[in-house]
Amino acid sequence: MDGITSSNDPSSDSMTSRDYYADSYAHFGIHEEMLKDSVRTGSYRAAILDNGHLFKGKTVLDVGCGTGILSMFAAKAGAAHVVGIDMSNIIDQAQRIIEINGFKDTITLVKGKLEEAELPIIQFDIIISEWMGYFLLYESMLDTVLLARDKYLKPGGCMFPDNARMYLAAIEDQDYKEEKINFWDNVYGFDYSCIKDIALREPLVDTVELKAVVTDPYMLKHINLLTAKKEDLAFTAPFTLTATRNDYIHAFLAWFDITFDCTHKKIQFSTGPHAQYTHWKQTVFYTPSTITISEGEKITGTLSCVPNARNNRDLDIGVEYTAGEKPTKVDYRMS
């Protein structure tokens, strides 16, 4: 088996900015950012190469193979055959890359949407995929990975990774909230506060220093990739945050951890404020008003997360919380 098995491009060598807008993964820049994220790519490499016994002689499906990096790790780990699939024109470069690196006979690339494609192998021992988005689920292709599992994974096969966990905490963030949210109260002497409400409802993806975290973290949601269903990706989760000091709270903070639990040498990474930088950073949800909290005091509430009805890659996120007496509800939209 060799070459890309299906192709109906505007050739990736002649793409215009409009083509890149429609196919955001076609440009090398986004892959450069992902490949240079050494926590991300290094964790996948360790999970695959340090567990060669799981890959030796096995068939592997790489869902959303991009430039082919995970497919090449799997081939290097001894897989009998790897099929990489991607719907973006970047796969034309992936084909060149696997050929230059001597993997032409071990890796077959398929251009197209996983949901619509015909694969040259119909049952795989292992599915690998890097599917995570901001806040884990924003623009995520997890539903595609679950579909791949149900259609192509052999009974008893492995998912790489196989567990994801989302966490919530609360932070003191007076200065940045002033700059990002309260800025709209007075713009060169004019009242722009109508934008303040819109800005508040848009979660902010940014890095947050650990010293800003005012509560213990709380695990909001666990997704087991071997058993999760598409319906599980719309959820409402209760939370309790316990303050670790007397302080003010200006926002909730969310992040996720990823684990490869099927491996002999367990590999995991975190995108939290306590961990090394990743391109996912953390996600900040500003609260409408400042919460005053004392050490040991609790904030209770629920976080709901539902794919947007008009665009299922966007997320409608509702946070309802009680700190003291008054319950507050805020509807956020990640788009």
* Residues assigned a catalytic role: 130, 139
Residue nearest to ligand SAM (CB): 64
Beta bridge partners of 129: 63
Q: Which of 53, 56, 96, 113 binds ligand SAM (CB under 6 A)?
A: 113
Nearest-approach distance from CB 327 to ligand SAM, in angstroms: 37
Q: Which of 114, 136, 293, 299 binds ligand SAM (CB under 6 A)?
A: 114
Pick between residue 215 and residue 271 the one whose CB is nearest to ligand SAM: 271
Cα–Cα distance list, 127 to 65, 145, 187 (Å) = 11, 8, 51
How far is residue 33's CA from residue 142's CA, in Å, rounded to a whole number? 20
The count of residues interacting with ligand SAM (CB under 6 A) is 20
Note the maximum CA span of the chain: 69
Segment contacting ligand SAM by CB under 6 A, of 3-11, 112-120, 273-281, 288-296: 112-120
- Contact letters for ligand SAM, residues 202-231 (x by CB under 6 A): ------------------------------
Nearest-approach distance from CB 278 to ligand SAM, in angstroms: 12
Nearest-approach distance from CB 326 to ligand SAM, in angstroms: 41
Going by the DSSP 8-state scheme, the letter that residue 80 receives in this structure is S
Q: Contact between 200 and ligand SAM (CB under 6 A)?
A: no
How far is residue 102's CA from residue 122's CA, in Å, rounded to a whole number? 24
Pick between residue 31 and residue 180 the one whose CB is nearest to ligand SAM: 31
CA distance between the termini of the chain: 40
For ligand SAM, the binding residues in 20-79 under the rule CB under 6 A are: 25, 31, 34, 64-67, 69-70
Q: Exposed, middle or buried, 56 (CB in 10 Å: 0-12/13-18/19+)?
A: exposed
Nearest-approach distance from CB 24 to ligand SAM, in angstroms: 8
Nearest-approach distance from CB 147 to ligand SAM, in angstroms: 8
Q: Contact between 85 and ligand SAM (CB under 6 A)?
A: yes
Radius of gyration of the chain (CA): 22
Pick between residue 31 and residue 196 the one whose CB is nearest to ligand SAM: 31
Is the distance from CB of 54 to CB of 78 less than 8 angstroms?
A: no
Pick from 251, 234, 235, 245: which is nearest to 288 by CA? 251
Q: Contact between 144 and ligand SAM (CB under 6 A)?
A: yes
> Tokens representing 53?
């016994």
Contacts of 285 (CB under 8 A, 6+ apart): 203, 251, 252, 253, 254, 317, 319, 330, 332
Q: Which of 90, 97, 228, 317 binds ligand SAM (CB under 6 A)?
A: 90
Pick between residue 140 and residue 287 the one whose CB is nearest to ligand SAM: 140
Pick between residue 67 and residue 283 the one whose CB is nearest to ligand SAM: 67
Is the distance from CB of 90 to CB of 98 less than 8 angstroms?
A: no
Sheet architecture: strand order including 124-129: 107-111, 81-86, 59-63, 124-129, 153-160
Q: Contact between 161 and ligand SAM (CB under 6 A)?
A: no
Q: Which of 37, 92, 130, 172 binds ligand SAM (CB under 6 A)?
A: 130
How far is residue 271's CA from residue 222's CA, in Å, rounded to a whole number? 15
Q: Contact between 280 and ligand SAM (CB under 6 A)?
A: no
Please report, as ranges, the residues that interact with ligand SAM according to CB under 6 A. Answer: 25, 31, 34, 64-67, 69-70, 85-88, 90, 113-115, 130, 141, 144
